[in-house]
Amino acid sequence: MNLYNQRSSNIRRTWALVIGFLLVVIAAGYAISWYYGNPGILYIAILIAVMTNFYAYWASDKLVLSLNHARPASREEFFDFYTVTENLAIAAGLPKPKLYVIDDPAPNAFATGRDETHAVVCATTGLLSMMTRSELEGVVGHELSHIKNRDILLMTVAVVLAGFVAIVADIFLSMSFWGGGRGNDNKQGNALFMIVAVVGIILAPVAAKLIQLAVSRRREYLADASGALLTRYPEGLASALGKIGSYTAPMQSANLATAHLFIGDPFGAKREGSSNWIEKMFSTHPPIQQRIQALLEK
């Protein structure tokens, strides 16, 4: 798949994610409205779904930055970060993204935003302090590739929508425990509704995680390759990944909602090296050593 096909695929996947989210929330709203015999609940569900999608498109990047306690990066304080990003953005044919930093010793970075003209590249102070210039170029090239490949909208929207799926399921289960619906006159119907609610609350977090996995692992390999082509020095990114992968402590602001956005697992190398097959299966990132090997293959 070439770059243009990948960009088109990301747009289609974003629309599929948005439409799928709408259908899930509306279906849940319909079930609850049927159970309580109140059509108004369905209308509220539709309104919530539309508003959440609207927020996910226009403001999810601000939510991501807030969740990770990011602050704007000044040119005076982070001169290398600024100049490297400016030079690589020109080479990639992109507007220079806004730059943010997270005050955290763990080396990591991510890109977010809805399009090329509203993009953000964010790095931790730990990454900026320990990377050489060529390594920093590799990391920034990787993040600019996410922007160029139009990964950022899909990956950022997933933060809001995947999290909201779990919230809807929780509300669904809570309301079923309150009772008061048609199930009170039909014990069999009430039991069935409870089973559906319990299954929903169990599967919703899994579905949310699968959404994040679907938009993360393969795109990391693609962004690695695209970033290496942009800098024409894959060794720089490979060396940077080595430093990121060897840092064992998690980020101070690490959270499951935004983990898939980062260039490295924000929970640290300990989780990536875990022998627990469940943790490996639900990891948002491919193994660092495999990414390094792919970059250094001639």
> ∠160-50-22 over CA atoms, to 5°?
75
How is residue 240 written in tokens?
């940077």
Q: Where are the alpha helices (DSSP H) in the chain?
A: 3-36, 39-67, 79-92, 125-130, 133-148, 151-178, 187-214, 217-231, 234-246, 269-272, 277-281, 288-296
Is 235 in the active site?
no
Sheet holding 119-124, edge to edge: 70-72, 98-102, 119-124, 109-113
CB-side neighbour CA atoms (13 Å) of 52: 27
In a 10 Å sphere around its CB, with 0-12 CB exposed, 13-18 middle and 19+ buried, how is residue 281 labelled? exposed
Q: Compute the distance between CA of residue 6 and CA of residue 219 in angstroms, rounded to an integer.
A: 10
- Report the candidate in 176, 84, 96 with the shortest Cα–Cα distance to residue 137: 84
Residues 6 or more apart whose CB falls under 8 angstroms from that of 201 comprise: 169, 170, 172, 173
Q: What is the DSSP letter of 261?
A: G
- Is-contact 285 265, C-beta < 8 A? yes
Place of tokens 């539709």: 46
Q: Of 86, 135, 137, 143, which residue is the catalytic one?
A: 143
Residue 5 to residue 71: CA distance in whole angstroms: 34
Catalytic annotation, residues? 143
